[in-house]
Structures are given as C-alpha cells and as structure tokens.
Amino acid sequence: MATTRPPRVMDPFAREFWEYTQNKELRLQQCSECQKLRWPAAAVCDKCLSPDYTWEQVSGKGQVLSWIVFHRQYFPEYPAPHPAVAVELAEGPIFVCCMPDEFQGSDLADALPMELDWLESEDRFGTYNLPVFKPAGK
C-alpha cells in the first residue's frame, strides 16, 4: 500500500531517476566523459559540462555523516519526532533522506554503516518507491 508523501521536485532528468525506483534501483547519473557521479539529476556534468551520461546503479551502502530530529511538524505526512539523515554513499555522493518508521534518531551515530531500503510511495506524479537508508543489518 503506497503512502502519500510531499511531492517530488520533478524535471526531465528527475523523471528518469524516479523511473528506476519502480524496480527498486538506486541509480545516479555518471558522466560519460569524466565519470563524475552527480546527484541530484541535472542536464550536464558540473565538472566537464558533457551532456552524455549513463545511469549507474550504486551499491546501496553508505555511512552516517549527520542527522537531525524534527520536533516541530512541518508536514502532516511526517508527524514529529521525525529524523532526517545525511548518508555518505560508498560511491561518494551524499544522500539526504529519512528512515523507515521503526528507526529513531537515537539509533544513529557518526560513520554508522547504513544500507538502502525502499518505501512504497505516491504523490501527484504517481506511485513510486522512495529510496531511504537504515542502519545496516537492522
């Protein structure tokens, strides 16, 4: 059962990113010329301005860089307390997300290994799977 969430920021490149989540694949654009991985999706490589890219699947492994816990509710879909975490992916980019509901801010620590998970989701653009991270092995 898909959960309704605040809407995604959508553009042609984001649309390609989210298409891959239908199959629970976390893929980031990789520049075909200089190989830089970029996130979020964009028209060209910010390092060499090449418009050519492939969608590279990342390992789904990372570690905690920082986190916060919202004690004020900003979205009805996310009642407080609501943790948000910045995960440094094994491949380099930083991925900011929430965690599955059963995890709290108190479960996190600096450099804690994290792994990818998926939450069935829906917004005005349709149904999709939201990539999130949780403490590895939990």
Partner 1 sequence: MANRVVEHDRLKKLKDTVAVVGVGESDYVGDYRSGAKGNAAEKGSGALNSYQLAATALKRALDDAGLTKDDIDGLVVGGPMSTERTCEVLGINASWCVSGDAPRGIIAAVQAINAGLCHTVALVYGNAQRSMNTQYGGPQAMGGDGILSYVYYAPWGMTSQGGLYSMMFRRHQLVYGTTEEQLGAVSVAFRKHASMNPNAIMKERFTIEDYMNSRYISEPFHLFDYCLINDGGVAFIIQRRDMANGKQIPINISGIGWSEMDIDSTQLRPRLKDFYLPAHHAVREQVYPMAGYGPKDVDVYATYDSFSTHLLFSLEGFGFCEPGEGGAFIQDGRIEIGGEIPCNTSGGMLSESYMQSWNHQPELVRQLRHQYAGTEREVKGAEVGQYVHDVAGKCLSVIYTRGN
| Footprint of partner 1 (CB under 8 A) | 5-9, 39-40, 46, 65-72, 74-75, 77-78, 81-82, 84, 86, 93-98, 105, 110, 121, 123, 130, 132
b/e per residue, 104-132, with b = 16+ CB within 10 A?
A: eeebbeeebebebbbbebebeeeebbbbb
What minimum distance in Å lies between the beta carbon of 50 and partner 1?
16
Partner residues linked to 3 by β-bridges? 121
**Between 83 and 136, whose beta carbon lies closer to partner 1?**
83
What minimum distance in Å lies between the beta carbon of 123 and partner 1?
7
How many CB atoms are located within 10 Å of the residue 13 CB?
A: 15
What minimum distance in Å lies between the beta carbon of 6 and partner 1?
4
Helix (H) or strand (E) holding 91: none
What minimum distance in Å lies between the beta carbon of 54 and partner 1?
19
What minimum distance in Å lies between the beta carbon of 138 and partner 1?
19
**Between 57 and 68, whose beta carbon lies closer to partner 1?**
68
> Tokens standing for 34?
């200089």
Partner residues linked to 68 by β-bridges? 84
Residues 6+ apart with CB under 8 A from 133: 62, 85, 87, 95, 97, 99, 114, 115, 116, 117
**Between 5 and 61, whose beta carbon lies closer to partner 1?**
5
**Between 7 and 12, whose beta carbon lies closer to partner 1?**
7
**Between 69 and 136, whose beta carbon lies closer to partner 1?**
69
